[in-house]
Chains A and B, each alone.
Chain A
């Protein structure tokens, strides 16, 4: 099987969220970056499992500048065979999708994986756009995926509903929790990753369509109003009369 996994670079979950340049840019100062968890823990690891049981190859692709090399090496250390980096700093998900589509077109990939969404822009857009650009089926929110000949059996987790899908390859799948368990690269993987190929492709074409104008921090909480455990009924009164939410 020929598998392509789209990975995004995001700030670590615990990183401070702050902005610079008049709140137009994320402040990367001192921030640890990671592979987007949905891309790594679920999409990439499941792709690696499929390769291990069925044979084939796993290519990871990232749209970003040279400093993304660090997360690409991590994906290679986890077991991806090779990597592609499209050299641009994308301003929206459309640019990411259109760049990856140009690479994937005619590439003969059986499954193109993305994560459910990234934990920075929380859009969940790239997979669906790729599917449309490549005219492939798109199965979003996959929590389980098994290969059955030329088809895939996928369980989608949606709002209170689990939906079972049968889809032919090639197709695009967005992965979420349940697909696989997170892995930690071992020493052999880390050493091997240093010699695995990373192809760098210049970006071409498409301007952003929905770039960020400015970031805004949410209003500070007024502080937590404490209620005595001796009188928890007061909470109900406050929720009713003050917060007016019940």
Chain B
């Protein structure tokens, strides 16, 4: 038996949670564990992703992540259903919780997993996306954290049964206080979860020119990002910086505008499925890592691409 963590946000399942659920269900028989406030309908709907039963700890304190409390809940639920494998997303929650769970369960931890190329093999990106490592999947207890955007959750049909579950939490399980939460994405899709990302670099010459990037992103339903120099000189906020010291992303489509493609930038985006590079400089190293390229002036090319996307969507 396997156990998958279902993370909730505003009473809904996170996109990364659905990915983890679908991935787990494909691996084998899985029970889900949902932590925090959610309606029965929301949790029953997990049946469409291959889950038979959902354990639900309906405790509003768990609407925020406390790594020790989450660890206790996951370990208790795993014992309850007899699970030897725990699966969760390798997002910020997974980073906080998975190592603790692995130690507590005396399990092997496979963190940041991309796929399962064989029955007993786990593949993850290493060297900042420049290679993969295949790890021997242990036969005993294991914790697997799945990279966001690595497995597509496709809803089928089915309804899961929901069972209320409880754990005796102590005050010491909430071992830090969360004193504030600032939403920086402004209601947009968080960058690591975005399927399409439009990113700008120094070639855009100034923050006042970001409108053309935002217009294309809006037409595509994409998130916006930027290169490190652009964040460092304050043209764009730091949380948009993708690259080695910023965020690592794995979208289906990455469009880089006016970014030369330094190796540190590639480290954050080279796992993208399709890369488009638009740059005035035909020698920009990014073209070597791209699938499609346009050598040209972004200020002329980008608005025309945006219009073409709008037409495509209007016609579809």
Contacts and interface: CB of A to CB of B under 8 A. Distances in A.
B62 interface: no
Interface residues of B, number: 91
B220 interface: yes
Given A224-B288, A226-B294, A160 B305 contact: no
Interface of B: 67-68, 71, 91-92, 95-100, 102-104, 107-112, 121-136, 138, 175-185, 188, 190-193, 196, 220, 238-239, 241, 244-246, 248, 252-253, 263-264, 267, 273-274, 276-277, 287-297, 300-302, 304-305, 307-309, 312
Given A94-B109, A167-B176, A159 B126 contact: no
Given A120-B126, A224-B288, A239-B292, A138 B183 contact: no
Contacts of A195: none
Given A171-B176, A216-B134, A226-B294, 7 more contacts: A122-B125, A159-B91, A160-B185, A165-B177, A232-B308, A235-B276, A245-B274
B308 A233 contact: yes
Contact of B127 (A120, A153, A211): A120
A135 B101 CA distance: 12
A119 B107 CA distance: 24
Contact of A243 (B123, B291, B294, B304): B291
Contact of B134 (A94, A119, A215, A229): A215
B100 A132 contact: yes
A132 B291 contact: no
A79 interface: no
Contact of A165 (B124, B178, B264, B294): B178
Nearest to B182: A162
Given A161-B182, A166-B176, A213-B134, A238 B292 contact: yes
Contact of B109 (A93, A161, A221): A93
A112 to B, nearest CB: 13
Nearest to A210: B108
A239 B138 CA distance: 40
Interface stretch (A9-17, A59-67, A68-76): A9-17
Contacts of B191: 159-160
Nearest to B107: A209
Contacts of A176: 245
A149 B106 CA distance: 35
A214 B293 CA distance: 33
A156 B177 CA distance: 12
B92 A140 contact: yes
Nearest to A42: B245
A17 B184 CA distance: 35
Contacts of A237: 308
Nearest to B144: A210
Interface string A69-89: 000000000000000000000
A243 B132 CA distance: 23
B86 to A, nearest CB: 14
26 contacts: A120-B127, A122-B248, A159-B191, A159-B193, A164-B178, A165-B177, A166-B176, A171-B176, A174-B95, A176-B245, A177-B245, A210-B135, A213-B134, A215-B126, A215-B131, A215-B133, A216-B133, A221-B291, A226-B292, A229-B300, A232-B294, A232-B301, A235-B292, A237-B308, A245-B273, A246-B220
A210 B109 contact: yes
A102 to B, nearest CB: 13
B303 to A, nearest CB: 9
A92 to B, nearest CB: 8
Interface string A202-231: 000000011111111110011011111100
Contacts of B129: 218
A207 to B, nearest CB: 11
Contacts of B287: 224
Nearest to B195: A245
A110 interface: no
B123 A216 contact: yes
B292 A211 contact: no
Given A160-B239, A212-B133, A245-B274, A132 B103 contact: yes
A232 B304 contact: yes
Contact of A137 (B176, B192, B238): B176
Contacts of A153: 179
A129 B304 CA distance: 51
Contacts of B71: 132
